[in-house]
Chain A
Amino acid sequence: MSLLIDRDGSITDRWTRVEDDAALPAGPAIVDLARLASVDHAPLGVHLPNSAEPAELAGDFARIALISVAFPSFSDGRGFSIGRRLRDLGFAGRLRAAGPVIADQFAYLLECGFDEVEIPDALAGRQPAAQWQAALARADHAYQRGRGGARASILDARSGADG
């Protein structure tokens, strides 16, 4: 079992990842990007490698309820920009970061448009949900603007204090 977490703590994963051309289950299913064009299923999710171009999914946003973005390692940060670009392109569904990211990155992920994080078993053993909650609680303010999510903007707070 991998661990699925959102801002409120660990949650149950209703989604089934479908390998390659395996048969689709009855409920929510996440398919590979290559299979997306040929499946007609709901609720439908798609798994995006971090070398994919997010804009190519834009035409399918209406029938996609979840996009899972691959994070092959915590130090490969392409997924942060993919999440952000998907939101800029208008994707309003559920956005999942999938891979061995670390608790210290939780706030950043939320600010880049992600809703939830799926981490592999091995990491989940060392970084249980409580660590992720604690990391989020520690995250205080950020210097950037225009990003919803975990940390309040210092720049906005300053102009609020001025006004």
Chain B
Amino acid sequence: MYRYDDFDARFVQARVAEFRDQVERRLSGSLTEEEFRPLRLMNGLYLQLHAYMLRVAIPYGTLSATQMRKLAEIAERWDRGYGHFTTRQNIQFNWPKLRDVPDILDALASVEMHAIQTSGNCIRNTTSDPLAGVAPGEIEDPRVTCELIRQWSSLHPEFTFLGRKFKIAVSASEEDRAAVATHDIGLYIVRSAAGEIGYRVLVGGGQGRTPMLARELRAFLPKADLLPYLEAALRVYNLHGRRDNKFKARIKILVHEIGIGEYRRQVEDEFARLDRAAIAAPEAEIARIAAYFAPAALPERAAEDAGFQRALRADPSFAAWVAQNTHDHRLPGYRAVTVSLKPIGGVPGDATSEQMRVLADLAEWHSASELRVTHEQNIVLPNVALADLPKVFRGLAGIGLDAPNRGLVTDIIACPGLDYCALATARSIPVAQAISRRFADPRRQAEIGPLAIKISGCINACGHHHVGHIGILGIDKAGVESYQITLGGHAGADASLGERTGPGFAYDEVPGVIETLVERYLALRASRRETFLQTYRRVGMEPFKEALYEPAH
């Protein structure tokens, strides 16, 4: 994991001191709320429906056990004993008092964390593959690039007052677990025909009210050119992106309006003009960062473990959990474990202080002290030995986080929705809870197989409904919540945007609607191995539409 040096530590401490001063001026009345707003947003502090909300950056989703314990302490001491892990691999605290926020930021700084640029029209937290560094077949650890971007984008003098927020994702695996194509800029780490490692650069992806998948900007960018090229791409956006309408201000609209060819021409012109050598990170700096991401020194293990095999045979629930919630590791004898934060009927992404502490302990004892947050709002313990899996499973069962549902119908992504968010037009968490309870039976979930349900409580699409196999969008229709359904979205390497089925449904109808869609899929699928998405891509919208709107047939 990356560790702060003196420069990093001073940088964050200076921001905390500055914010403490700004809060004092706000509380004393010398700053109006209007003047304070952009200052607090630069530090991740929103004013939500009921209270302030603090969004803490978890760079590329990687956390140490120590950091997780600190989050638990913050939740307990300054919030209501829980935190909410987000689709941006961050954590949000929903109930902090304004006066306490500088102390919270101090507590974060003590474990090398901050809330800088988690909101506002700037470059946000760079996201990545939650299995970075442990997935087999990865070209290199994408977090080296992420950390380089994190530093370069922190208080960038030119790009801190953009037209709109700007999100970057990086992946280095063939299987895209970072939803790269839904980002303003997406980077795939690739190898050229000559064997050189560099980037395939995508631009103009995004969700919101105008969902678009990113287009290819550059088939191959040499590694050394990353920062100069990003400067060129951001400069063209900053100069020419629309400022007249906040809903048309993302880079996707610029790329769409002038065309990818023209945008590329302008970026390449800018890139040719600027002084690359002066902007690029020195090789020594990249090597310095890379050294922090050297693979964890894990004890050598045999590919099989007798105790693990016995536990599999003895406990079917353990076996089901292993099959569903663990992933191959680059080393023999190890697995990467997904801890589902989607217990049946629970709030997707929420974790209590106690749960966070147990997760930290499990990480310390069994996963080289490291954890990851996924954009599906789950937690990953990336380095668990086969022999330790039964202990980890028991530990998780003790805190109610042993649901064997990763990637299944109850592993639902949901935005905070009307219960917390000032922008929301409909509830999303209670919808997720109702669907989860409807499909509670683990055998039925396994029978249905991979199915990503994603729920947004407004058109801004924080719940990623456009890329849900089944997407649910809650809107306000003349004072009544109405839920539109989309089908066929997907966030992987073969990303696609969902299509709307037709008119929306009432709040109470949603679980039944999902059940109807699932039943139709089960009747349509060519075999047990054909997933919901594959079936949809094969048969199209019509049979599902018919099931929803023409029940008489």
Contact with A along B4-19 (1 / 0, CB 8 A): 0101101100100010
Q: Can you name the residue of chain A whose Cβ is closest to the Cβ of B277? A: A146
A108 to B5, CA, bound (A): 23
Residues of A within 8 A of B158 (CB): 77, 80-81, 84, 108, 111-112
Q: Does any Cβ of A come within 8 Å of B121's Cβ?
A: yes
Cβ-defined partner of B7 (8 Å) among A75, A80, A107, A141: A141
Q: Can you name the residue of chain B whose Cβ is closest to the Cβ of A54? A: B239
Q: Does any Cβ of A come within 8 Å of B243's Cβ?
A: yes
Given contacts A143-B151, A146-B275, A147-B157, contact A80 B281 (CB under 8 A): no
Chain A proximity of B273: nearest CB distance (Å): 5
Q: Are A80 and B282 in contact (CB under 8 A)?
A: no
Looking at the complex, which of B159-167, B294-302, B444-452, B524-532 is the stretch in contact with chain A?
B159-167
Cβ-defined partner of B155 (8 Å) among A75, A112, A143, A162: A143
Q: Can you name the residue of chain A whose Cβ is closest to the Cβ of B10? A: A140
Q: Does any Cβ of A come within 8 Å of B288's Cβ?
A: yes
A138 to B121, CA, bound (A): 23
Q: Does any Cβ of A come within 8 Å of B284's Cβ?
A: yes
A80 to B38, CA, bound (A): 18
With an 8 Å Cβ cutoff, the count of chain B residues facing the other chain is 39
Chain A proximity of B425: nearest CB distance (Å): 25
Q: Does any Cβ of A come within 8 Å of B423's Cβ?
A: no
Given contacts A142-B157, A144-B156, contact A77 B162 (CB under 8 A): yes
Which residues of chain B from 43 to 76 have a CB within 8 Å of any chain A CB? none
Q: Are A155 and B14 in contact (CB under 8 A)?
A: no
With an 8 Å Cβ cutoff, the count of chain A residues facing the other chain is 35
A138 to B11, CA, bound (A): 11
Q: Are A162 and B284 in contact (CB under 8 A)?
A: yes
Q: Can you name the residue of chain B whose Cβ is closest to the Cβ of A77? A: B161
Q: Does any Cβ of B come within 8 Å of A158's Cβ?
A: yes
Which residues of chain B from 225 to 254 have a CB within 8 Å of any chain A CB? 227, 235, 238-239, 243
Q: Are B157 and A108 in contact (CB under 8 A)?
A: yes
Q: Are A145 and B280 in contact (CB under 8 A)?
A: yes
Residue among B7, B39, B152, B160 having the largest count of chain A Cβ atoms under 10 Å: B7
Q: Does any Cβ of B come within 8 Å of A49's Cβ?
A: no
A140 to B288, CA, bound (A): 22
Residues of A within 8 A of B156 (CB): 143-144
Q: Are A80 and B161 in contact (CB under 8 A)?
A: yes
Q: Can you name the residue of chain A whose Cβ is closest to the Cβ of B152? A: A143
Q: Are B11 and A107 in contact (CB under 8 A)?
A: no
Q: Does any Cβ of B come within 8 Å of A42's Cβ?
A: no
Q: Can you name the residue of chain A whose Cβ is closest to the Cβ of B158? A: A80
Residues of B within 8 A of A84 (CB): 158, 235
Q: Does any Cβ of A come within 8 Å of B494's Cβ?
A: no
Q: Does any Cβ of B come within 8 Å of A78's Cβ?
A: yes
Q: Does any Cβ of A come within 8 Å of B478's Cβ?
A: no
Q: Are A159 and B235 in contact (CB under 8 A)?
A: no
Q: Does any Cβ of A come within 8 Å of B194's Cβ?
A: no
Q: Does any Cβ of A come within 8 Å of B539's Cβ?
A: no
Residue among B152, B161, B284 having the largest count of chain A Cβ atoms under 10 Å: B161
A112 to B279, CA, bound (A): 13
Q: Does any Cβ of B come within 8 Å of A15's Cβ?
A: no
Cβ-defined partner of B285 (8 Å) among A81, A82, A107, A155: A155
Q: Does any Cβ of B come within 8 Å of A154's Cβ?
A: yes
Q: Are A159 and B161 in contact (CB under 8 A)?
A: no
Q: Can you name the residue of chain A whose Cβ is closest to the Cβ of B162? A: A77
Q: Are A138 and B14 in contact (CB under 8 A)?
A: yes
Q: Does any Cβ of A come within 8 Å of B552's Cβ?
A: no
Residues of B within 8 A of A74 (CB): 38, 161
Q: Are B288 and A158 in contact (CB under 8 A)?
A: yes
Q: Does any Cβ of A come within 8 Å of B460's Cβ?
A: no
Residues of B within 8 A of A147 (CB): 157
Q: Does any Cβ of B come within 8 Å of A76's Cβ?
A: yes
Q: Does any Cβ of B come within 8 Å of A149's Cβ?
A: yes
Q: Are A88 and B284 in contact (CB under 8 A)?
A: no
Given contacts A145-B279, A154-B11, contact A77 B238 (CB under 8 A): yes
Q: Are B161 and A112 in contact (CB under 8 A)?
A: no
Q: Does any Cβ of B come within 8 Å of A11's Cβ?
A: no
A147 to B159, CA, bound (A): 13
Chain A proximity of B407: nearest CB distance (Å): 37
Q: Are B7 and A154 in contact (CB under 8 A)?
A: yes
Q: Does any Cβ of A come within 8 Å of B278's Cβ?
A: yes
Given contacts A88-B273, A154-B11, A155-B281, contact A76 B157 (CB under 8 A): no
Chain A interfacial positions (CB closer than 8 Å to B): 74-78, 80-82, 84-85, 88-89, 104-105, 107-109, 111-112, 138, 140-147, 149, 154-155, 157-159, 162
Among all A-B residue pairs, the 10 with the closest Cβ atoms: A77-B161, A146-B278, A108-B157, A111-B157, A146-B279, A143-B151, A81-B238, A154-B7, A80-B158, A159-B282
**Can you report 7 A-B residue pairs in the complex whose CB atoms are below 8 A from each other?**
A74-B161, A80-B157, A84-B235, A88-B274, A107-B157, A140-B14, A154-B7
